[in-house]
Structure 1
Amino acid sequence: MGKELNRAFEKRQLSEYEYTFVISQDEAQKMLEKGENFIERIIAWLQEKRHYEGLEK
């Protein structure tokens, strides 16, 4: 999961500072899905540890 987040961050950096950088819709969708999965896993972990009782899906 860390590699995926790092890859997404690098692409975000490129998009901010490289005006010629282009990302495909398919690649953006995959990164979005992986990000959503990461958040779901973090929420599940926090709920398991009883540190999170906030927002539900």
Structure 2
Amino acid sequence: MSDLVGHFLIFGGLATAFLMGPLIVGRLLRPKLPTAEKDAIYECGEPAIGSSYIQFDL
């Protein structure tokens, strides 16, 4: 029984490594150049006019 549990733990560990590994590597290797242009709000490539937080009545 413990052999089966060991296989499940190994499989779960490898699955987690394959899922999280690329995310962690991407976060470490990505360029870190925050600019005002990257943080700007846009809608379909056009600059936003006015506030982007509007309450819609449904």
TM-score, L = length of structure 1? 0.40
With CA pairs under 8 Å and 6+ residues apart, which has the higher RCO, 1 or 2? 1
Task: Mark the structure with the bigger radius of gyration.
Answer: 2
More helix by share: 1
TM-score (norm 2): 0.39
